[in-house]
A and B are shown apart, each in its own frame.
Chain A
Amino acid sequence: MSVSVRSTILSQFEQVAREQNRKLAPLSDDLVLMDSGLDSLCFAIVVARLEDALGFDPFGATEDARFPVTLGDFIAFYEDAAK
């Protein structure tokens, strides 16, 4: 499960960057999301697409009121919600 969540997320980052003509930084777990080359609108689209692809939105469900800062946080956020 976690491998597919991760790969789904990474492919959404790449696809949205392509659609929005953004230069995506090399994706690694310690990449700060705001430095990834995507802007707020791109993240909004990624989250909306992930909700469609994975069937859930951890931002809406979580009790933990922390926003992910790095790509690793972001993936863990989704992986935890998928458990």
Chain B
Amino acid sequence: MLRGRSVLILTRDQLTAALALIQIDGVARRLILCPPDLAIEHLPLVMATAQVDAVVSDYARADIGAMDGTHFITCSARITPTAAVRDERAASEWILFTSGTSGPPKMVLHTLGSLAGAIHTGGRLAGANIWSTFYDIRRYGGLQIFLRALMGGGSLALSSAAESTADFLIRAGSHAVTHMTGTPSHWRRALMSGAAPRILPQYVRLSGEIADQAILDSLRAEYPLATIAHAFASTEAGVGFEVEDGLAGIPANYLGHSNHGVELKVEDGSLRIRSPRTARRYLGNESAPLLDAEGFVDTGDILELHDGRYHFSGRRGGIINVGGLKVHPEEVEAVINRHPRVQMSLVRSRKNPVTGAIVVAEIVLKPELAAAEPAGENAALKTEILENCHRALAAHKVPAAIRIVPSLEVTPSGKVARPNA
């Protein structure tokens, strides 16, 4: 029934999505894996862009709106596999959502080959390990672990959004998890949960955010027998590389040559990756090309070289990563600037030991009003601005601190000067 179709997999439950993927790969022409936080209002756009003509879901059809002319198949975690006839020559396209910021979701085209490209490298990660991940398997980072467990003949303990970090770690420990992955923020939360000693991993991996020396050292202290690795991977660029020497940053000799078919270089300050693991293209006509003329993906992550290692210093355009959630400074500045007494503002990232980074703002007040202002009333003004932000923005986008400054540097082109921009 799904043969040759473009199938949207939209599930409440991770396990249901996992079973649907196993069942549909190699049968459907294309499968579109919806992340857990996909807003229902974006569904019509997603379905049009990906030319969806079938939906596999554990939602009721009515819950996700009318879809005329689309096959709707109800699915649950209790489905049993059937011996579907797979056409090995016709690999399904796997459509994943990028870990977006705001606005309409962006989709990229992978194949099982590009997604599994990092998996057949042998070594410690091959074999029947007991995997677990803080990530949801409907996103790139989690899907990697799902495929590793599946292809390596291992098993996988899924996380659950409904479960506390401590309960998840206790459960993972009861399954004797050997290999576990998450972002630095996930791991910081694990270390603060009190339940970190409940797992005894051989292998701990961090990705998705900058792994600083403090989190690497903390994990080394907590799990002295484990390999502590940090990796670069993104939905667009695939798995780039992994660093296992326990130090933050990337050894400079990782760049400039091919390693397992992956080439890294720095151009205009940002990391570029060319490999068989990158996505092929963005879905939708109006998107910019994903690959440049030479086949490199620009990750947008800015690298700086010091002491023989490259270190991530932020995102091009100043995008701030708060515990894995991205923030465009301009979006926050627009809200701050609506206050009648604000002349201009600069929203920037401040390093944070809990979420990696946090949003802070500097504001310049309108001169005629600033002059007449008794200093003590600034607290009330900051409160008003924060209240505006809380009303208009998601919690992670609201500045943790606001500082009133006399002026902000402006570039010759008339824009507020941004670090790393």
Contact = CB atoms under 8 A, between A and B. Distances in A.
Interface string A22-37: 0000000000111000
Give chain B's interface residue range (CB within 8 Å of chain A). 20 to 34
Contact of B188 (A40, A45, A57, A62): A40
B217 interface: yes
Interface stretch (B1-9, B334-342, B394-402): B394-402
B192 A43 contact: yes
A52 to B, nearest CB: 6
Nearest 10 CB-CB pairings of A with B: A59-B353, A65-B217, A67-B191, A44-B354, A44-B355, A48-B400, A45-B400, A65-B218, A69-B194, A65-B221
A66 B192 contact: no
14 contacts: A32-B194, A34-B165, A34-B192, A40-B354, A41-B355, A41-B395, A41-B396, A43-B354, A44-B322, A44-B323, A47-B352, A48-B352, A57-B353, A66-B222
B233 interface: no
Interface of B: 164-166, 185, 188-189, 191-194, 214, 217-218, 220-222, 322-323, 350-355, 358, 360, 386, 390, 395-396, 400-401
A41 B165 CA distance: 14
Interface residues of A: mostly helix, strand, loop or mixed? helix
Interface of A: 19-20, 32-34, 40-41, 43-45, 47-49, 52, 57, 59-60, 62, 65-70
B194 A34 contact: yes
A40 to B, nearest CB: 5
B156 to A, nearest CB: 24
B218 A40 contact: no
Query: Taking each of A40, A43, A60, A70, which has the highest tally of chain B beta carbons within 10 Å of its own beta carbon?
Result: A40
B358 A44 contact: yes
Contacts of A49: 400-401
